[in-house]
């Protein structure tokens, strides 16, 4: 995937429906349910046996940057928007991007002790402030004190449209957020949680392989 450089304002690119996105290349990325064998909770292993994990089967992804900020735009079909935790048994929809923090990391386990990963996390009930997570293996996600991740989402006619954005470089988070440089490439993966299916934590749909993301100089 190429993150093309464009001349456009942050505000425009944050809007998933802005005209600036019209010309951006779009890729359809297939998603799979996370494997039961990897779930760290014996309860989840047992209770989700025979249940569908990963309701969202694919997501359309485009990306742009304007020299300052990087923008990933997602669109996926979802018949209902679960945007609030309105009851004890209700879960919101969510989406996240995953990056290795030090060049490489195992994707299936969300990193490892020596190869941490960085997740930019949107959830429908969070509002515009996305969360910055670091993980060193299954069950270890940790929110960092600050987050430069900004999200804007809208749901209409059975489709979520979402932009997750961040400054390319975040020098104050040198060890807890991936640094993106124009003219270089990183690895990236995507996860989507379908709230109405009880998807949260390790129960989600994800893109099984790291994808190479090149940031145009």
Partner 1 sequence: MAEDNVGRIVGGKLVRPKRQLAMVFDLNKCLGCQTCTIACKTLWTREEGMEHMWWATVNTMPGRGTPRDWEKMGGGFVKGASRAGKLPTNEEFGEAWQFNYDEVFYGGKGNEAHLAPQGKPPTWGPNWDEDQGGGEYPNAYYFYLPRICNHCTHPACLEACPRRAIYKRAEDGIVLIDENRCKGYRFCMEACPYKKIYFNHVRAVSQKCIFCFPRVEKGVAPACSRQCPGRLRFVGYLDDEKGPIHKLVKQWKVAVPLHEEYGTDPNVYYVPPLAPPRLDANGNVDETKPRIPADYLRSLFGPAVDRALDTLKAEMAKTRAGGKSEILDTLIVYSWPKDIFPDFAKDPATLEWTSAETAKKA
Residues that bind partner 1 (CB under 8 A): 39-47, 85, 87-89, 138-141, 200-202
Least Å distance, CB 19 to ligand HEM, is 29
CB nearer to partner 1: give 85 or 185.
Answer: 85
Q: Which stretch binds ligand HEM (CB under 6 A): 5-13, 17-25, 55-63, 139-147?
A: 139-147
Secondary structure (H, E, C), the chain: CEEEECCCCHHHHHCCCCHHHCCCCCEEEECEECCHHHCCCHHHHHHCCCCCCCCCCEEEEEEEECCCEEEEEEEEECCCCCCCCCCCCCCCCEEEEEEECCCCCCCCCCCCCCCCEEEEEEECCCCCECEEEEECCCCCCEECCCCCCEEEEEEECCEEEEEEEEECCCHHHCCCCCCCCCCCEEEEEEEEECHHHCCCCCCCEECCCCEEEEECC
Q: Which stretch binds ligand HEM (CB under 6 A): 62-70, 78-86, 136-144, 177-185?
A: 136-144
Least Å distance, CB 77 to partner 1, is 25
The partner in contact with residue 43, picked from ligand HEM, partner 1, none with C-beta cut-offs of 5 to 8 angstroms by kind, is: partner 1
The partner in contact with residue 184, picked from ligand HEM, partner 1, none with C-beta cut-offs of 5 to 8 angstroms by kind, is: none
């Amino acid at each position: 995937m190429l993150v093309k450089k464009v001349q456009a304002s942050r505000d425009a690119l944050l809007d998933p429906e802005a005209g600036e996105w019209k010309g951006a290349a779009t890729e359809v990325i297939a998603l799979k349910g996370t494997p039961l064998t990897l779930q760290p909770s014996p309860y989840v292993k047992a209770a989700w046996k025979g249940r569908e994990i990963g309701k969202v089967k694919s997501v359309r992804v485009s990306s742009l940057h304007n020299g300052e900020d990087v923008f990933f735009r997602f669109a996926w079909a979802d018949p209902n928007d679960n945007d609030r935790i309105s009851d004890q048994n209700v879960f919101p929809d969510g989406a996240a991007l995953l990056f290795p923090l030090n060049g490489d990391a195992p994707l299936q386990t969300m990193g490892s002790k020596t190869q941490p990963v960085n997740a930019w996390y949107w959830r429908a009930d969070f509002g515009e402030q996305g969360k910055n997570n670091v993980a060193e293996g299954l069950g270890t996600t940790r929110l960092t004190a600050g987050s430069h991740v900004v999200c804007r989402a809208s749901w209409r006619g059975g489709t979520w449209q979402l932009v997750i954005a961040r400054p390319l470089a975040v020098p104050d988070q040198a060890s807890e957020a991936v640094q993106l440089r124009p003219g270089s490439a990183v690895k990236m993966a995507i996860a989507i949680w379908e709230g109405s299916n009880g998807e949260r934590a390790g129960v989600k749909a994800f893109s099984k392989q790291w994808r190479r993301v090149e940031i145009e100089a």
